[in-house]
Amino acid sequence: MPFPRAIRTATRLLLATLGTSVMTSCVVMPTNTHWDQKRSLAKYDSLGIDAPVSLPELAKRTDTGFSAADYLTLHSGLIVSGEYINEDFKKKLATSREAQEGVLELGFSVPIAKGGSGFGSCAPVTRDGYFLTAAHVLSHEESFVLYATSNSRKTYIDYAPVREVYRNNEADFAIVKAELKTPRYLKYRTSPLTQETTLFAGGWMHEKGGGLYQETLPIPGQNAFRKIVTTLPMIKGDSGSPLIDQEGRLCGVLSTMRLGVIVKMKPKSTAVMMDRGQIEKLIAEDRAKH
């Protein structure tokens, strides 16, 4: 079995309720039709990405040609409300760390109350636990980040509380810090997006999707930010997910979904991005304080 496909099988995030029935907190919106999603998935399955990935399970080799879904799972974090991080959940994560060496297994369960919230994604941008996300993801007093990290032998899920470094509710953008190592982080795209640019996103909450760049818009009163409009499908739980190009470079984090009144209208989603210099300045200032 090719290694990338093994990852795709193992990284399903299973979501169960606190009761006996099974339900996820991320329900596909009506205008995100089955065919919209199918076409989106077909796009990244045919194109893939060119970004390399290095894992100890690859015996020190660097693999290329990962699907966007695999790459995003290994280069993003899951933000979870602290109310779900109980002792049973911690034991499950500890068990995953003790799994057989050389086998990548990232599947686990998260209990969610019916209609629950407190889930989102985030984009790692440094080796030492700094992430970008959407501000509205941080809706709970205490949140944790889950991240697929690696040591010299294996890859496993680590977790830590998140601390707000910067937050702008008007732009729906935040920088957070977690005390854990993030060996796989995203580098920024520096060249302008074009109408031919293929983009991928999706976080940990559902099968990742692909789409096209449409336009970049200013955010009134927020000169350090820009809004990126795409044709990507997006569902609840995707907020804060990295928006990447075909080379795996970070273009922004998912913020909102734009729904059309008429079903035939294609769904759109928007991502938000802060000027890179401002991000690096805020992170440097935070490091100096802590």
CA 140 to chain centroid, in Å, comes to 18
Please state the domain count of the chain.
2
Most confident among 129-143, 165-179, 236-250, 260-274 (mean pLDDT): 165-179
Domain co-membership, 146 together with 218: no
**Within 10 Å of residue 64's Cβ, how many Cβ atoms?**
11
Closest by CA to 147, choosing from 92, 46, 65, 72, is: 72
CA 272 to chain centroid, in Å, comes to 14
pLDDT for the residue 274: 98
For residue 60, the enclosing domain spans 3-25+49-178
Domain co-membership, 128 together with 160: yes
The tokens of 100 are what?
A: 């057989």
Residue carrying structure tokens 């399955």 = 45
C-alpha R_g of the chain: 18
**pLDDT tens digits, residue range 193-205?**
998 888 998 766 5
Q: Is residue 128 part of a domain?
A: yes
- CB 108, CB 95: distance < 8 Å: no
- The enclosing domain of 102 has a CATH number of 2.40.10.10
CA dihedral 175, 178, 179, 184 (to 10 degrees): -90
Domain co-membership, 160 together with 119: yes
* pLDDT tier for residue 261 given thresholds of 50, 70 and 90: very low
